[in-house]
Amino acid sequence: MHLNARNAALYTVLFGAALATWLASRPGAEVQIAPGPSADYPPGYYLKDVVLHGTDEAGTVLYRIVAGQVEESGAERRLELRDVRVQYRESEDVAWLIEAERAVAPSDRSYLDLQGNTRMTSSGEQPSGQIVIESNRLRFEPERFLASTDSPVSLAFGGTRLEAVGLTADLKGDRLELRSSVRGRFVP
């Protein structure tokens, strides 16, 4: 057999591979595995033009969350929504439409932290006309029919406009509480 440079390089590589395999297979040898994505936190996903339905125990749809985009972050286990609208089913007697530029929610959707031009609009027949509530931030719990914020809010209905800091709204019970610094303008 003729030993040239090419054959010498091939034998060197084969010998190195055999030596590495023998060293790794010895008892007590530790094998280092490069870290990869954790099985506990699968990679996230995103969807466009999404409709999420919230249901009761019987599976009846109570409300719809419509979003232009939904993105799930695997590690944080939360949903990030863009161009968000929430509307209850008419038979629930909750006549409100809730809109925001974006929202963040845990993966179980027990609440939505709405942000950016948040607007709640009554859609039912009110004696004083349509009610519009605006804020920059709002926590919304759809299954409990509750909305709340510690941020400044404005509330308008008929010719009346109120400004306040903080709000709690029970949408099913038709109860609204402005928390502090309430100022208003009433039109007779």
- 81 vs 85: CA distance, rounded Å: 10
Domain boundaries, the chain: 45-185
Q: Is 167 exposed, middle or buried, given 0-12, 13-18 or 19+ CB atoms closer than 10 A?
A: buried
Q: pLDDT at position 68, please? A: 94
Q: Do 118 and 100 form a contact (C-beta atoms < 8 A)?
A: yes
Average pLDDT across each block of 10 residues of the chain; the chain has 188 residues. List them in order. 61 63 57 48 75 85 90 79 86 80 86 94 71 94 92 91 94 88 82
160: left (phi over 0), alpha (psi -120 to 50) or beta: beta
Query: CB neighbours of 92 closer than 8 A, spacing ≥ 6?
Result: 62, 63, 172
Q: Quote the tokens at residue 15.
A: 């010998």
161: left (phi over 0), alpha (psi -120 to 50) or beta: beta
The third-level CATH classification (topology) of the domain covering 45-185 is lipopolysaccharide transport protein A fold (2.60.450)
Distances (CA, A) of 11 to 2, 3, 94: 13, 10, 79
Q: pLDDT at position 21, please? A: 65
Q: pLDDT at position 7, please? A: 64
- 99 vs 30: CA distance, rounded Å: 55
pTM above 0.85, yes or no: no
Q: pLDDT at position 125, please? A: 64
